[in-house]
Amino acid sequence: MPPPSTNPIIYRCYERRPADDLPVEQLLSGNGLLDVFPTSRGYFDLDYRGNRLTLVAGKYVGLIPINSRVSIHVQPKMPVQRLLRLLDVAGEEIGALNLFERGYQEELDFDQNIVHLMIKTLLKQLRVLEQEGLFKDYQRENHIGTYRPRINFGRTLQSQWSRGKFTSAHFELYEYSRDNCLNRLLKYTLWYVGNFVKLLGRGGEIPRTLTFFYDLFEQVPLDLTLSFVAEAETMLKNSKIPSLRGYYEDIVRTCLLILRNQSVSLDVIGGDISLLSFVLNLEEIFEKYVRNILRRSASGLYPEIKVLDGNTQFESYLFRDSKRVRIRPDIIVRRDRKNVLISDVKYKPKISETDRYQIIAHALSLSSPKAILVLPSFAGESSGLIRCGCVGDVPGVELFEYYLRIDEALEVQEKKFAAEILKMV
């Protein structure tokens, strides 16, 4: 991955479109070999078009590094705000490239989807503390006891000698301590984020990593008054963080962004703050989005209908007398314990014959009378429900296609989609 000091050229393209403006020379090393980061190879296809090599974006969107000289900003066809709606309904978190950061423009509005990106960034930034250690500076500490320099005569007269305690003095020392505004900021942010993650009921690696870093600040008090924020902001603004602890700057910026309940823009490459480069798998998001639309509607209106994930919640095989081939339709709709509809969700421009053959075979295997392929739709394209026809003898399998508009009022489209599908079962 490129070091932070490099400034690669950024080219832009849309999902599933070629990066036409990218010169092929930028993809080659000095000896003519293909020069692409190994971690970036799964995000693009290499195609030969018009007598030239071209990178073609696939199902991922985000700013993706190609090599130390070039990054490609793959943009979704839909507005980013609608993409965030898909994320919310799908229950998906924003993914991130763990070894690559980019600049963002700060936004005043809070967005829960983006919080996960900020948390992942913070945990990545905190890794340096394991090698470099916590920031320490000299802090003035007040003590009472046997005199040590430096004595505070005013407070000593008032609180000690006036009461006949002539062997005791109030004195001040400067101690080299981890207890400072920056570490208080970090500890409070870890505590705050840990509670946020706990409220969401999230398990896995993130809670464990948060606990690990929180324990590094054992000698730092948890200051719930937030009295440290103003001082930390001043140190950052006036470049008062020592150069040997310069890695604290990005950490402090991320902490302050989280505590201010702010967010960042996903469609603008800005210079306000550096976070991990987000990346979204549109195929996974769209599949979960479609399934959850049906789940939400069915649970409220039709309790006898169950919407299952055929990949994880239902086990079946293609052949009646063999377990050689397992089938995994994206959605299985059951009513009164019978399969009444199966669906495959395809995030791509058009359906292939292979897609049709597959879902028909799965429907026959599962004794489902109806099968439907769901695709995204944009302005100027087909939308809504299309009946293709019936396969086989009565009752056979009735095949449908549904083109779900995702570039306009999503809540309206979601209600329309759920109503049309559920009335079929």
Q: What is the per-residue pLDDT across 230-278, written as a single tens digit (0 to 9) for each?
A: 999 999 999 999 988 899 999 999 999 999 999 999 888 888 999 999 9
d(CA 34, CA 176): 52
Phi, psi of 402 (to 5 degrees): -130, 125
CA angle 235, 236, 241 (to 5 degrees): 65
Mean pLDDT, rounded, for 208-223: 94
User: Of the candidates 137, 365, 368, which has an alpha carbon nearest to the alpha carbon of residue 245?
Assistant: 137
Residues of each domain in the chain carrying CATH 3.40.1350 = 282-422
Integer angstrom CA distances of residue 383 from 4, 53, 318, 417: 45, 34, 31, 10
Peptide bond into 52 cis (omega under 30): no
Integer angstrom CA distances of residue 42 from 3, 92, 207, 345, 405: 21, 20, 29, 21, 27
With b for 16 or more beta-carbon neighbours within 10 A and e for fewer, the 162-194 pattern comes to eeeeeebbbbeeeeeebbbbbbbbbbbbbbebb
- pLDDT tens digit sequence for 140-172: 655 455 545 556 666 666 776 677 776 676 556
pLDDT of residue 376: 95
| pTM, 2 dp | 0.82
The CATH fold of domain 282-422? Trna Endonuclease; Chain: A, domain 1 (3.40.1350)
**DSSP assignment of 227-276:** TTHHHHHHHHHTT-S-GGGTTHHHHHHHHHHHHTT-EEEEEEE-SSEEEE
With b for 16 or more beta-carbon neighbours within 10 A and e for fewer, the 92-123 pattern comes to bbbbbbeebbbebeebeeebebbbbbbbbbbb
- pLDDT tens digit sequence for 323-376: 899 999 999 999 988 999 999 999 998 999 999 999 999 999 999 999 999 999
